[in-house]
Structure 1
């Protein structure tokens, strides 16, 4: 993903307004209405009404597509407006994915931008103002990170001090992120500082436009790779559900995601990760291609986790820490015993 993916505005006006007691009352009423709306939407989703990610495809220029909720999609025009103003129009989809991770569009401080201007979290009660500040801040992160999106995203979460820290240590990496987080937590005497998995949490909602090439099959698999991948992508961001094997479960487990997606194209992958391992044949790592399955042993001996390889060292999978997402094969190799790649005959 890194190969593909290469806050300060005056708040005096907002702060002064918040000192007015009447404004606080009105803001409280607005928050109540917003909460009631959110509950109504949740009930609608639960009853099979509006799908959480209905109309959730947002793309601008050379950006990509963001799989986001309808609550986030309503802010797309504002994101486009300020992305253009601050010179990052090519990143509208990515910003939409960031909003999905920050608030899911369900809070007035849409981009959690208050802290970037020295205010307590959630102080901003004007969604447009939050987006203006947040987009400007992210534009600054992108500039400081020299266009490195993972570095800019993690900087948005940890503060721009992280970017300078990371650049002095060779750039963005998970190890540098954890190191900085621990350092800041100790300095501030907090239990934790930021989200060290922020990059992955945002990118699970985003697929770069030119990243589509890495998931294109070469026509030699026994099924349509693009079609299976397209089915799986519908569920990006959904939570991990043990035993989840259909969309009705509200999420999937690893083998359930593959079982469901492949069933839609007539391929029988019924069963657990171990069953799917046994139904496939081994492939040498130097011969792998999109559509091959990748297996790990995560909690017991033998195959207990599976995903589908999509190219560029990534695989799509449902896992207990991130739900349905893209993961790095190499990172997983460092975490769990690797059982290899296998192919459907």
Structure 2
């Protein structure tokens, strides 16, 4: 019985510490995203009245004084390329949903999920592994400096 109890306690501690590490400091960004989840999709939209995918990204990153190009196609050209396996909260993820190159984008929020403005659901959070987006994934970019990232996640980095 002691072994079972110790195993359970160990699993809880491991789960709690790994969950914290996955989202360490992310509350500021996640809070900014949560504030607009449910905002309707609006082609060309850049305000809380409605967002398209790149307008949503502009809105979130403007809060951290990060300037980005207007369209997802142009946003996919800035910053540093990031491997899917190295994504961190705040990285931009890009998709080919039109068959003509990058045409959709979102913000990685951790745990294999990204926030984006979907034409059918508005601002929502979706798994990168969902069958629709997994097939259409193109690339990811890191567009923050160390100082900007620190501000975004709410943790001072040394």
TM-score by length of 2: 0.70
SS state of the match for residue 290, structure 1? coil
- Which of 50, 62, 65 lines up with 1:263 in the alignment? 62
1:318 and 1:343 mapped to 2: Cα distance?
A: 19
Larger radius of gyration: 1
Tell me which residue corresponds to 1:232.
33
The structure with the greater share of residues assigned to helix is 1
Task: Give the number of equivalent residue pairs.
Answer: 125
Superposition misfits of 4+ residues, deviation over 6 angstroms: none
Tell me which residue corresponds to 2:117.
318
Paired residues for 1:190-229 under 5 Å: 213=20, 216-217=23-24, 225-229=26-30
- RMSD, aligned α-carbons: 2.1
**Unmatched 5+ residue regions in structure 1?**
1-211, 219-224
Report the alpha carbon displacement of residue 258 of structure 1 after superposing the two structures with TM: 0.6
1:213 and 1:321 mapped to 2: Cα distance?
A: 32
Whether the 8 Å contact between 1:317 and 1:325 is mirrored in structure 2 is: yes
Tell me which residue corresponds to 1:253.
52
Report the alpha carbon displacement of residue 214 of structure 1 after superposing the two structures with TM: 7.6
Whether the 8 Å contact between 2:44 and 2:51 is mirrored in structure 1 is: yes
Whether the 8 Å contact between 1:315 and 1:327 is mirrored in structure 2 is: yes
Tell me which residue corresponds to 2:78.
279
TM-score by length of 1: 0.34
Higher relative contact order (CA 8 A, sep 6+): 2
Q: For 1:160-193, what per-residue CA distance to the aligned partner results, in whole angstroms no more than 9, with x for missing partners?
A: xxxxxxxxxxxxxxxxxxxxxxxxxxxxxxxxxx
The structure with the greater share of residues assigned to strand is 2
1:244 aligns with 2:45: yes
Whether the 8 Å contact between 2:76 and 2:140 is mirrored in structure 1 is: no
**Unmatched 5+ residue regions in structure 2?**
1-18, 145-158
Report the alpha carbon displacement of residue 327 of structure 1 after superposing the two structures with TM: 0.5
